[in-house]
Structure 1
Amino acid sequence: MHTHPTRRTLLLGAVAATALGACATSGADDDSEAAKGETTADNPFGAPADAPLEVVVFKGGYGDQYAVEAGTLYKPRFPKADVDHKGIQRVGEVLQPRFISDDPPDVVDNSGAGRLDLVTLVSSGKLTDLTELLDAPSLDDPSKKVRDTLMPGVVEDGTFDGKVFVLNYSSVLWGIWYSRSLFARNGWTYPTTWAEMLTLGDEIKKTGVAPWTWQGKFPEYMNDPLVSLAAKAGGHELVRSVDNLEPGVWRSPSMLAAAGAIHQLAVRGHIMPGSEALSHTEAQNAWSKGQAAFIPCGSWLEGEQQQVTPAGFDMVLGTVPALTGADKLPAGAVMAASSESFLVPAKAGNARGGLEYLRILFSRKVARGFAQNSRALPVVTGATDGLTLTSGLASTAQTAEAAGASMFGYRFRTWYPPLAKALDDATGELLTKRTTPEKWAERVQKAADAVAADSSVTKQKR
């Protein structure tokens, strides 16, 4: 999964990781208790009445209006406290020096390209354990804990070494997007198998429309359908094997078949020329203009494209088709996870206020606003009840409901960034026909084996 996925991955360099690691602290047990007020039923964390609160949020496809609203609701509860909200890009570049110097903001949305490496932050003791927040009464219903208002999997997604350091805000599904109106005009039917996908691609080419485009500068986008195909064929067991760095899994029949399936898009000329040089926005804009029929993306796509998508485009999320006739997961299975990672730094000057801000952020009121403005599913249960949903968001909600227990999600991207980078590079070569599926598998397996053998890397287990 992308956790995020978010979303587009750009790793911090080794120097950054070393610098953060060299400044290890004791984490949640050392979170500056100097800024603490009276603990009450309305103020369960003892947030100080007059301490300023600094919130830094990644302002990407979701915007940051929902985070601004949470700050607006924080203010009446603590009238003497100034709330400093910053919506920025490239969170890692901006905040890395502040984490190193132990002068971080009070709340951070660590998302987007160039985000901070969560594994490094956790291993360096830079984050506050959020268990206290999860066990606090929710703002909507004090009889329920915050953890009981979240969708399944959200707490797990933010758990490292048995402790919860991150709470993700958006429920993300990954699939293949298409325009329902374009398909209706041409009499096309969304494929249920990969063989049907290739046959339909040949038909689409005849109309002058490219069957596919992709965000070539960020190969992880095309990795999503690839590892989804593998998961459908190999089942939950394969997903666990990948995350657990089990030997040979990247050379398994399911993974090789998935790489071969994606490779066929390039071999058969189904990819819009020049796609490998496109950024995510450039590829998505070309798709929104009808230059290509399919694009792989997470469920943030509609919100990210809402300013440029023509009226009547009617975008919808399609699940990745079945790879074989004997897939272990059903056709409706979909890769899903939570993303948009909120955290409270261990050295925050107002960590108590940071926890209270997150309690407000994860309320149903703020989450409903997020769904309406960002066209994305929040992780707060019931937040979209009664809302009129757009085509993309409605298809995402319907897909999630239909998938049920067959949802799956990988965690290696968050746990092992070097492996994720190696996979991205290999898939970039695969989609430009500069490598074969077999060589792709060998390359990625070599990277996985290197991570497994590196004693300096903390291993996670599913």
Structure 2
Amino acid sequence: MTHPGEITRRQLLRRIGITAFAAGPGAALLSACATSGAGSEPSAAPSTSVAASSDPANPFGVDPKKPLEVVIFGGGYGDAYAKDVHEPLYTKAFPGVTIKHTATQQIGTQLRPRFVSGDVPDVVNNSGPEAMDLAALAAEGHLADLSALFDAPSADDPSRKVRDTVTPAVLDNAKINGKDLVLNYTVSHRALWYNAKLFESKGWSLPKTWAEFTALGETAKKEGILLFAYPGQKGPYYQLWNVLYTAAKIGGNQVLIDIDNLVDGAWNADAMKKSVTAWVEIQAKYGDKAYFGLDHTQTQVKQLQNKLLFYPVGSWIENEMAKDKPLDFEYAIAPIPDVTSSDAMPYGAVQVGVGENFVVAAKGRNPQGGLEYLRLMLSKEGAKGFTQKTQNLTVVNGAAEGLDLPPGLMSAARAQDAAGQNIITDARFEGWYKELFDHGTEQINVVMAGRVTPEEFCARMQKKADEIKKDSSVAKQTRSQ
């Protein structure tokens, strides 16, 4: 039985299948790949295609005896889903095959030298603060073309193509330089997350306006609780996301589209300045500069201790902190309050996107096996197993049917349902122009600490964007929505 305003799991999964998500191919924070000529035109790169096979059970012609190497980012999702679900599916399909499994939180540090030397793994979960620059890898021909994957028969039903079993956002956001090169595997919600049980015990309501938000800050301050905090170390991009999404709420998604398309003056848009100004003022009045010295785990523990109310992060937080979460803490999602009386998006607008990207190395020893590994990940068994291990939804339609979803995820689902068409998109420049996103990650701490004004922050970001726009060695990307 559902209550008014709630949705069933079936309705949730149906909505996920039809919602027009928009997230960049690099939904994780990306860092430099030490390859030469990273900005070269993609036409100069070697072929990244894998020939198709007529066998629907082995559509890529995998050699069943050839070993496979998989590298997983051991962050919020852990790596049990790979070890206990996806890799066993592969060994079941090819009995006796050897899989080398590596989990690391230092994707870039460990893999950049290997891509340079040519000793590359077959499948990479490119995520976390050290994730590699996918545009640079694509320009060098390191990423296998996934069009064969999307056109392959589904592992569940050979009469259906893989592309027909996933949310359309997967296909929209797979492209770099016009090619399908990236698989975004999860559905995520980035917003302000809070402890619903604390709010219930205090009799507090979620603030819908900025005046209500600051009033709650005053109330919380009297009880020794911060209204808001973000990690200044290994996570300042959480706040960069937050500022960008707030700007989109104020001015509409066109604000983000213009930034991604390197439109002249996009960073100096009024909505962007208002967003940065609003959050700088929150930090000054209701924050604590000590958090600039904390990383994401330390900050998240502080929230579990009810030392801060709102934390800007994605829906992976619930699983990431599952072992540390006390019984009196229940994650829930809070939409960004109305910043002005004329915000382009109404209260309740939320960010929804696809993320957690996976790529296959075109120059690896077994690219055919890499594509098959992703195909098995996109089976209902593979996707359902991921959700069971991580308590997060995948992009595979209907794969979580019948599963018990945790409170935070159901809260996000209800928020998405209430938002309707008022969905905030991702900013794709983080995957397209690594240098610009890295610059923003550095500058957000500077402005939030009060060392520059919001106007100066926007001017610095615009200057960097202009430099990239004028740099002919950087392949340019565009989006229309």
TM class by smaller structure: over 0.9
Spell out, residue by residue over 1:61-88, the C-alpha distance to the aligned partner (whole angstroms, 9 max, x if none): 1011222211101112111422222222
Contact kept? 2:24, 2:426, Cα under 8 Å:
no
Aligned to 2:227: 211
- Residues 336 and 94 (structure 1), Cα distance of their counterparts in 2 relative to 1, 3 Å cut: same
Counterpart check, 1:431 vs 2:448: yes
1:221 aligns with 2:199: no
Distance 1:404 1:146 in 2: 27
- The offset of 1:322, in angstroms, is 2.2
Q: Deviations over 1:139-195 (max 9, x none)?
A: 122232111221231222221121110101111211001101111111111111223
Match of 2:8 in 1: none
- The code of the aligned residue for 2:306 comes to G
TM-score by length of 2: 0.89
Task: From 33, 36, 42, give the equivalent of 2:57.
Answer: 42
Which residue is 1:149 aligned to? 165
- Residue 73, structure 1, aligned to residue 93, structure 2: no
Kindly provide the amino acid, as one letter, of the partner of residue 464 in structure 2: A
Does the 8 Å CA contact 1:5/1:338 hold for their aligned counterparts? no
Q: Within 2, Cα distance between the matches of 1:405 and 1:125?
A: 37
2:36 is equivalent to residue 18 of structure 1: yes
Supply the AA of the counterpart residue of 1:144.
Answer: R
What is the DSSP-based 3-state SS (H/G/I as helix, E as strand, rest coil) of the residue aligned with 1:208?
A: coil
Per the normalisation by structure 1, the TM-score is 0.93
Partner of 2:273: 256
- Partner of 1:458, secondary structure, is coil
Q: Percent identity?
A: 39
Distance 1:303 1:455 in 2: 42
The residue type equivalent to 2:243 in the other structure is L
Match of 1:455 in 2: 472
Shift of 1:134: 0.3
Q: How far does residue 397 in structure 1 lie from its aligned partner after superposition?
A: 2.3
Q: Partner amino acid for 2:78?
A: G
With 362-371 and 395-404 compared, the bigger mean Cα shift is at 395-404
Q: Deviations over 1:336-374 (max 9, x none)?
A: 322221111111211111111111011111212222221
Is the alpha carbon distance of 1:394 and 1:184 closer, same or farther for their aligned partners in structure 2, counting shifts above 3 Å?
A: same
* 1:294-305 equivalences in 2 (<5 Å): 294-305=310-321
Please tell me whether residue 188 in structure 1 is matched to residue 208 in structure 2: no
Counterpart of 1:63? 78
Instruction: Give how far 1:12 is off.
Output: 2.2
Note the 1:57-456 alignment, pairs <5 A: 57-68=72-83, 69-217=85-233, 218-268=235-285, 270-407=286-423, 408-456=425-473
For these two proteins, the number of residue pairs brought into alignment is 453
SS across alignment from 1:274: helix
AA at the equivalent of 1:66: Y
Per-residue deviation, residues 316-340 of structure 1 (Å, max 9, x unmatched) = 1112222222222232222232222
Q: Give yes or no for contact 2:142–2:361 (8 Å, CA) kept in 1.
A: yes
> Which amino acid letter does the alignment assign opposite residue 164 of structure 1?
D
2:195·2:329 contact (CA, 8 Å) conserved in 1?
yes
Structure 1 residues 58 and 437, CA gap change in structure 2 (3 angstroms): same
Distance 1:142 1:404, change over 3 A: farther
CA contact (8 A) 1:179 1:313 kept: yes
Say whether the 8 Å CA contact 2:37–2:140 is kept in structure 1: no
Work out the CA distance in 1 between the residues paired with 2:220 and 2:26.
30
Q: Secondary structure at the residue paired with 2:421?
A: helix
CA shift, 1:273, in A, is 4.4
5+ long unaligned stretches in structure 2: 1-21
SS of 1:378's partner is: coil
The separation in 1 between residues aligned to 2:30 and 2:357, in whole angstroms, is 15
Work out the CA distance in 2 between the residues paired with 1:92 and 1:19: 18
Q: Is the 8 A contact 2:191 2:312 kept in 1?
A: yes
